[in-house]
Amino acid sequence: MGTLHFAEGDAQKLQQYLPASSTPDPSPQSRPWVTLTYATSLDASLAVAPGVRTALSGPRSQAMTHYLRSRHAAICVGVGTVEADGPGLNCRLATKTGSGPRHPRPVIIDPRARWALSEESKVIRLARAGQGLAPFVITTQMTPRRERVELLQRYGGKYIFVPLDELDTDGRIPWTVILQEIRNEGLLSVMIEGGGQVINSLLSVPNNELVDSVVLTIAPKWLGQGGVVASPVRAAHEGGCLTEVARLKDVEWIPLGEDIVLCGNIGR
Ligand SMILES: NC(=O)c1ccc[n+]([C@@H]2O[C@H](COP(=O)([O-])OP(=O)(O)OC[C@H]3O[C@@H](n4cnc5c(N)ncnc54)[C@H](OP(=O)(O)O)[C@@H]3O)[C@@H](O)[C@H]2O)c1
């Protein structure tokens, strides 16, 4: 996999949707900046079927994703994405100095510690080669398998334990807790890349209040029915009417090759 180039002019257009390059003195209680970013088809699909890796973005929007990775301290995905795609979660952006890109810290939500990570997992191979960082895995399992704990530790990763009494009524880890755990690691910004469950829960009320910006790539193709669709839970009735869940404000549409990138801040 070669290095990627992202044009300075395109990067400029994204600035207002990105965390500040340096933050003065954030309090430990403040939550990290959250950018929700993903790619969909014209029929709002993230993948052609559950668990199937599906190429959507063209080369310019792929380079944009790596630019976003260079601008965030952490990159977060659910275990479903790790199992389906085996992603590298690193940054392959070319740098002017030749010193190599800044890699985000992968954060994987894996409540049951089911990810069968090994020396051959792409994210571990990249960490071993100095081309990425080893992941922090957020789990509710007090004792994940010892060989996995040791493997993560070998490369600077770890499991982060969330006690069961912190789960919400659906047995999920609340996003406030996930973000606090990320913040506790000194990570001040996170881009959340997927997959379906993660995106849909973050777009739903009330979690969408935690999202600072959305950077959405739309590819000019239809994937058809049965895909993994990006669509939040429908909002509660207000005065008997169905209402929109959320909308974007401060919107910019940025054409990148054949794709269009939609940027905005969440407004309700
Ligand atoms: N187009 C894109 O931009 C894009 C990006 C990423 C992924 N994808 C695609 O999306 C698909 C994967 O999506 P997915 O919905 O199957 O998986 P996912 O959202 O990546 O991961 C879902 C799993 O993560 C865990 N999880 C997530 N949030 C949690 C929370 N708040 N509390 C507790 N556990 C939580 C749960 O694990 P347990 O099941 O163990 O409880 C859940 O089943 C793949 O086909 C992939 O290719 C597309």
Pocket test for ligand 1, best of 38, 46, 190 (most atoms within 8 A of CB): 46
From the CB of 85, is ligand 1 less than 6 Å away? yes
pLDDT at 237: 65
The yes-or-no verdict on residue 100 having pLDDT over 80 is: yes
Q: What are φ and ψ of residue 112, in 5° steps? A: -95, 10
Atom of ligand 1 minimally distant from the CA of 45:
1
Q: Is 49 in the pocket of ligand 1 (CB under 6 A)?
A: no
Q: Are 128 and 105 in contact (CB under 8 A)?
A: no
Q: What percent of the chain has pLDDT over 90?
A: 87
The three-state secondary structure class of 248 is strand
How far is the C-alpha of 182 from the C-alpha of 189, rounded, in Å? 9
Predicted pLDDT at 151: 98
Please give the Cα distance from 150 to 181 (Å, whole number).
Answer: 21
Question: pLDDT class for 197, splitting at 50, 70, 90?
Answer: very high
Atom of ligand 1 nearest to the CA of 81: 20
Q: Give which of 119, 153, 120, 122 is closest to 137, Cα–Cα.
A: 153
For a substitution probing ligand 1, which of 89, 109, 141 has the most ligand atoms within 8 Å of its CB? 109
CA of 53, closest atom in ligand 1: 47
CB 179 within 8 A of CB 190: yes
The secondary structure of 158-215 as a DSSP string is: EEEE--GGGS-TTSPPPHHHHHHHHHHTT--EEEEEE-HHHHHHHHSTTGGGG--EEE
CA of 171 to the centre of ligand 1 (A): 15
Residue 257 Cβ inside 6 Å of ligand 1? The answer reads no
* 138 C-beta closer than 6 A to ligand 1: no
Q: Compute the average pLDDT of residues 63-83.
A: 97
**pLDDT score, position 209:** 95
Check pLDDT > 70 for residue 18.
Answer: yes
Among the listed ranges 76-85, 111-120, 236-245, 246-255, which one has the minimum average pLDDT value? 236-245
Q: Which residue has the CA at smallest separation from atom 9 of ligand 1?
A: 195
pLDDT at 149 over 90: yes
Q: How far is the CA of 127 from the centre of ligand 1 (A)?
A: 22
Count CB-CB contacts under 10 A for residue 265. 15
Which residues, in sequence order, are bridge partners of residue 238?
241
Is the pLDDT score of 214 beyond 80? yes
In the reported structure, the alpha carbon of residue 106 is separated from the centroid of ligand 1 by a whole-number distance in angstroms of: 14
Q: Is 143 strand, coil or helix?
A: coil
In the sheet with 247-256, reading across from the earlier edge strand, the strands are 158-161, 136-139, 105-109, 74-78, 189-194, 33-40, 213-218, 259-267, 247-256
